[in-house]
């Protein structure tokens, strides 16, 4: 996915139109999950959450391992954008305990939630498991490795995990011009460049991080991915506010812009983080 949001909308609309002829439960479920992804991307959180539950209802009779995991991870994506993953942490931990698949993706999501709660020692323990043998467990999954790897970027940033960040950065860099879209569950997390920026920052490479942040802002704005724009502005501001006078002035501007969007979209967790910095 490279940011053709018009093409995405056209495909989803065509898929929905085709369902009037073939209302198969699997395709009905899939269409609702696509709508949940699309509305989440723009920050229409209440609408997105409604689609998540409509998908769950449409998917009754389908394998629960598929529908329940998709529902929980789409809700996790919404809460992550809002800056409030804490309420889903017990659910993710329960799924990790009983699931036989996608262990790395679940563990990465849990590590991110723990960082949000500032339970850094626990998050570091999960990162240690994932990073064993240079993240072999993550990279061995052909379906989820990319989304898991970029999801760990914020974890590496929060934990100042320089060595782990370097491994993930090298793996993700070839996809710098793409957007992060996971196949199952169906989620889009915005520009890959934003996650490269976090990893570069964790590695102490400030100028490289700034370049990636600039690219991420351009892509996320083109996508109309307003939550991703606000998060990128916030993370970029944190980087710049550690600098000299000129970048600090831009950092303060980005922080103000991020707060305007966060308040407008009711991203209460992000507003809290912004106010703590500002």
Q: Of 54, 6, 15, 50, whose CA–CA distance to 224 is shortest?
A: 6
For residues 114-133, average pLDDT: 94
Residue 2 has pLDDT above 60, yes or no: no
**What is the band of 65 on the pLDDT scale with cuts at 50, 70, 90?**
confident
pLDDT tens digits for range 173-184? 999 999 998 776
Task: Give yes or no for a contact between 109 and 94, defined as CB atoms under 8 angstroms apart.
Answer: no
The whole-number pLDDT of residue 184 equals: 65
List, in order, residues 6 or more apart from 166 with CB less than 8 Å away.
199, 203
The whole-number pLDDT of residue 62 equals: 92
- How many C-beta neighbours within 10 Å does residue 70 have? 23
List, in order, residues 6 or more apart from 64 with CB less than 8 Å away.
none
Residue 189 has pLDDT above 60, yes or no: yes
Q: What is the CA radius of gyration of the chain?
A: 18
The whole-number pLDDT of residue 98 equals: 82
Q: Which of 6-10, 40-44, 258-262 has the lowest mean pLDDT?
A: 6-10
- How many C-beta neighbours within 10 Å does residue 94 have? 12
For residues 260-277, average pLDDT: 93
**What is the band of 117 on the pLDDT scale with cuts at 50, 70, 90?**
confident
Task: Give yes or no for a contact between 149 and 196, defined as CB atoms under 8 angstroms apart.
Answer: no
Task: Give yes or no for a contact between 189 and 180, defined as CB atoms under 8 angstroms apart.
Answer: yes
The whole-number pLDDT of residue 261 equals: 96
pLDDT tens digits for range 11-60? 999 999 988 887 889 999 999 999 999 999 999 999 999 999 999 999 99
Mean pLDDT of the chain: 91
List, in order, residues 6 or more apart from 182 with CB less than 8 Å away.
144, 146, 147, 188, 189
**What is the band of 190 on the pLDDT scale with cuts at 50, 70, 90?**
very high
The whole-number pLDDT of residue 244 equals: 67
Q: Report domain 5-277's class.
A: mainly alpha
pLDDT tens digits for range 203-223? 999 999 999 999 999 999 999
- Confidence (pTM): 0.90
The whole-number pLDDT of residue 185 equals: 60
**What is the band of 245 on the pLDDT scale with cuts at 50, 70, 90?**
low
- How many C-beta neighbours within 10 Å does residue 38 have? 19
First to last CA, the chain: 34
Query: 165 by DSSP, 3-state: which?
Result: helix
Residue 130 has pLDDT above 60, yes or no: yes
Rounded Cα gap, residues 157 and 162, in angstroms: 8
* Consecutive H or E run containing 218: helix 206-223
**What is the band of 102 on the pLDDT scale with cuts at 50, 70, 90?**
confident
Alpha helix stretches (DSSP H) within 42-144: 45-58, 64-82, 89-98, 103-116, 120-130, 132-139
The whole-number pLDDT of residue 238 equals: 93
Q: Of 66, 29, 43, 31, whose CA–CA distance to 184 is shortest?
A: 66
The whole-number pLDDT of residue 90 equals: 86
């Amino acid at each position: 996915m490279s940011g053709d949001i018009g093409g995405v909308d056209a495909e989803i609309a065509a898929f929905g139109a085709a369902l009037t002829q073939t209302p198969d439960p699997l395709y009905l479920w899939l269409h609702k999950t696509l709508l949940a992804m699309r509305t989440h991307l723009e920050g229409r959180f209440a609408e997105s959450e409604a689609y998540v539950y409509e998908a769950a209802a449409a998917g009754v009779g389908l394998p629960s391992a598929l529908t329940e995991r998709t529902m929980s991870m789409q809700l996790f994506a919404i809460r992550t954008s809002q800056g409030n993953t804490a309420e889903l942490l017990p659910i993710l931990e329960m799924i990790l305990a009983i699931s036989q698949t996608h262990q790395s993706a679940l563990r990465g999501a849990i590590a991110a939630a723990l960082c949000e709660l500032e339970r850094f020692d626990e998050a570091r323990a999960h990162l240690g498991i994932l990073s064993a043998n240079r993240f072999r467990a993550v990279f061995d999954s052909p379906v989820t490795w990319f989304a898991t790897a970029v999801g760990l970027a914020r974890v590496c940033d929060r934990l100042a995990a320089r060595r782990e960040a370097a491994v993930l950065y090298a793996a993700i860099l070839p996809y710098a011009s793409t957007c992060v879209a996971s196949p199952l569950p169906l989620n889009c997390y915005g520009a890959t460049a934003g996650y490269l920026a976090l990893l570069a920052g964790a590695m102490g490479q400030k100028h490289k991080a700034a370049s990636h942040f600039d690219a991420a802002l351009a892509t996320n704005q083109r996508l109309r991915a307003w939550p991703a724009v606000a998060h990128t502005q916030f993370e970029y501001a944190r980087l710049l506010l550690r600098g000299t006078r000129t970048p600090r002035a831009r950092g303060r501007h980005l922080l103000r812009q991020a707060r305007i969007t966060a308040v407008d979209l009711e991203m209460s967790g992000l507003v809290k983080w912004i106010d703590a910095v500002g």
